[in-house]
């Protein structure tokens, strides 16, 4: 019995020394961080998506201590932490730090010139019936595909992007994008081919920008001509036909924009001019976590020659970032 009491008291002493040592360590770290006004702020993202912002004062391998401005010292177990980011590395919107736009390389449909990093990409579902994806082979070159569930049309693309100018303030960068997207109506009409070649410039940064794209839409298809005539021998009307391939070249221009409003949404949209028609409209992008975005827009179109059009067609899409943080 005496031995058990001795062991019990010994364990209490060791635990007390450990706790006091940790407490003293935290006190020293806190006092140090208070004196060091230039210590960086960190943004700790928890698995619950909650954020803790402050200066890191301790890290004992099991938990991280963050000195916050409103709650004082907060000790966070590491198993609750999803990511830790230096606040100064995050973009600023209206003076507040926000996580990076997870999907800056494309608007509702039009591409921007902002490059994907090697190994990054995305998958986009429009109405959950049409899908497109892109994957970066390098920091400049990426490949992708676009298709509805019924695989007609099925388009593939190659895209090149580059940063032409970097603004020291990070606001007025200039990016270049050029590429080709081509495919066919597959089994619906194997003889019909679709494609577009384009080039464009993006002005701004990944959070807020404007893009101007210009290109040529191509539609190549088979045309059948029928010639009816009366055959005096059979005394019946008959016909003969001939096939030829026709190709339409339609110049196209698009203007797209994205304006980051806060940490969870952007105002965005795009407008196309093609074949004497104006198509497009405004929308919103809502961010869910670090990798998901939901686009909601109202689209329309007007034929400038006939003066008729429609507006208010809803468009909904979901995008998931691949790779990266």
Domains of the chain: 28-89 (2.30.30.100), 121-217+254-322 (2.40.160)
For residues 194-214, average pLDDT = 96
| 17, pLDDT greater than 60 | no
CA 109 to chain CA mean position, Å: 11
pLDDT of residue 29: 46
pLDDT of residue 7: 41
| 288, pLDDT greater than 70 | yes
| 28, pLDDT greater than 50 | no
Residues 6+ apart with CB under 8 A from 83: 44, 45, 290, 325
CA 31 to chain CA mean position, Å: 42
Work out the burial of residue 107: count CB atoms within 10 Å of its CB; fewer than 13 is exposed, 13-18 middle, 19 or more buried.
buried
Q: Please, which pLDDT band fits residue 108 given cuts at 50, 70 and 90?
A: very high
* 273/204 Cα distance (integer angstroms): 23
For residues 93-102, average pLDDT = 84
| 255, pLDDT greater than 50 | yes
Tell me the β-bridge partners of 45: 51, 83
pLDDT of residue 47: 85
Angle at alpha carbon of residue 172, lines to 108 and 254, rounded to 5°: 30
CB atoms within 10 A of CB 98: 18
Please state, for a pLDDT cut of 70, what percent of the chain lies above it: 87
Residues 6+ apart with CB under 8 A from 47: 80, 81, 82
């Amino acid at each position: 019995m005496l031995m058990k009491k001795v062991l019990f008291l010994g364990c209490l002493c060791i635990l007390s020394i450990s706790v006091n040592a940790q407490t003293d360590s935290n006190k020293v770290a806190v006092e140090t961080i208070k004196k060091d006004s230039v210590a960086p702020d960190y943004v700790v993202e928890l698995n619950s998506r909650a954020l803790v912002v402050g200066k890191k004062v301790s890290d004992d391998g099991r938990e991280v201590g963050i000195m916050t401005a409103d709650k004082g010292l907060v000790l966070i177990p590491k198993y609750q932490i999803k990511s830790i980011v230096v606040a100064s590395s995050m973009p600023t919107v209206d003076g507040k730090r926000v996580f990076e736009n997870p999907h800056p390389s494309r608007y509702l449909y039009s591409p921007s010139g902002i490059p994907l990093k090697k190994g990054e990409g995305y998958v986009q579902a429009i109405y959950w019936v049409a899908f497109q994806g892109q994957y970066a082979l390098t920091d400049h070159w990426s490949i992708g595909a676009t298709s509805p569930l019924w695989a007609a049309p099925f388009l593939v693309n190659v895209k090149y992007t580059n940063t032409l100018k970097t603004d020291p303030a990070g606001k007025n960068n200039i990016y270049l994008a050029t590429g080709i997207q081509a495919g066919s109506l597959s089994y619906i009409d194997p003889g019909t081919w679709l494609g577009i070649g384009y080039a464009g410039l993006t002005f701004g940064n990944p959070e807020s920008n404007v893009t101007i794209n210009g290109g040529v839409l191509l539609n190549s298809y088979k045309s059948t001509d029928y010639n009816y005539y009366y055959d005096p021998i059979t005394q019946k009307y008959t016909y003969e036909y001939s096939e030829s391939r026709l190709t339409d070249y339609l110049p196209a221009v698009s203007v797209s924009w994205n304006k980051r409003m806060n940490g969870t949404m952007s105002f965005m949209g795009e407008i196309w001019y093609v074949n004497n028609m104006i198509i497009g409209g405004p929308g919103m992008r809502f961010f869910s976590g670090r990798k998901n975005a939901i686009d909601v827009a109202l689209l329309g179109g007007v034929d400038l020659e006939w003066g008729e059009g429609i507006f208010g067609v809803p468009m909904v899409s979901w995008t998931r970032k691949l790779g990266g943080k």
